[in-house]
Structure 1
Amino acid sequence: MKSRFISLVLMTLCSSVALANCYDKKASTDSNYQRCSQEALEGDSIAQYYMAQMYRKGDGVTKDDKEALRWYRKAAAQKNRLAQFNLGWMYDTGEGVEVNPEEAIAWYGEAAKQGDQYAPYNIGFLYYTGSGVTVDFAKAQFWFLVARLNGNPKVDRWLRKNVARMSDEQKNQAIALFEAWKAEHLPVELSEPTP
Structure 2
Amino acid sequence: MTLHHKRLPFIAIVITTAALLAACTEKAADNTRPETKKAVPPVATVTESKIAQWTKEAKAGDPDAQYNLAYIYENGLGVPKDEAKALELYQQAAAQGNSAAQDNIDALGSPK
Same fold (TM over 0.5): yes
Partner of 1:24: 43
Is the counterpart of residue 90 in structure 1 residue 90 in structure 2? Answer: no
Taking the aligned partners of 2:105 and 2:76, their CA distance within structure 1 comes to 17
Give the distance between the partners of 1:24 and 1:68, measured in 2 at CA: 17
User: May I ask how many residue pairs the two structures share in their alignment?
Assistant: 72
Distance 1:38 1:91 in 2: 27
**Is the counterpart of residue 38 in structure 1 residue 94 in structure 2?**
no
Aligned counterparts, 1:1-195, within 5 A: 24-26=43-45, 28-93=46-111
State the identity as a percent.
38
- The structure with the larger Rg is 2
The answer to whether the 8 A contact 1:29-1:59 is kept is no
Q: Aligned equivalents of 2:94 and 2:43: distance in 1? A: 22
- Runs of 4+ off more than 6 Å: none
Q: Relative to 1, partners in 2 of residues 1:67 and 1:61: Cα closer, same or farther, differing over 3 Å?
A: same
Tell me by how many angstroms 1:23 deviates.
Answer: 5.6
1:29 Cα offset (Å): 1.9
Q: Which moved more, 1:84-93 or 1:39-48?
A: 84-93
Question: Shift of the alpha carbon at 1:62?
Answer: 0.6
Q: CA deviation at 1:60?
A: 1.1
8 Å contact kept, 1:36–1:50: yes
| RMSD of aligned residue pairs (Cα, Å) | 1.8
SS of 1:60 mapped into structure 2: coil
Give the Cα separation in 2 of the matches to 1:62 and 1:24.
18
For the 8 Å contact 1:23–1:36, the answer to whether it is kept is no
Q: Which amino acid aligns with 1:44?
A: D
TM-score of the two chains, using structure 1 as the length reference: 0.35
CA displacement at 1:32 relative to structure 2: 1.4
Structure 2: distance between partners of 1:89 and 1:76? 13
1: distance between equivalents of 2:107 and 2:59? Answer: 24
Q: Deviations over 1:133-174 (max 9, x none)?
A: xxxxxxxxxxxxxxxxxxxxxxxxxxxxxxxxxxxxxxxxxx
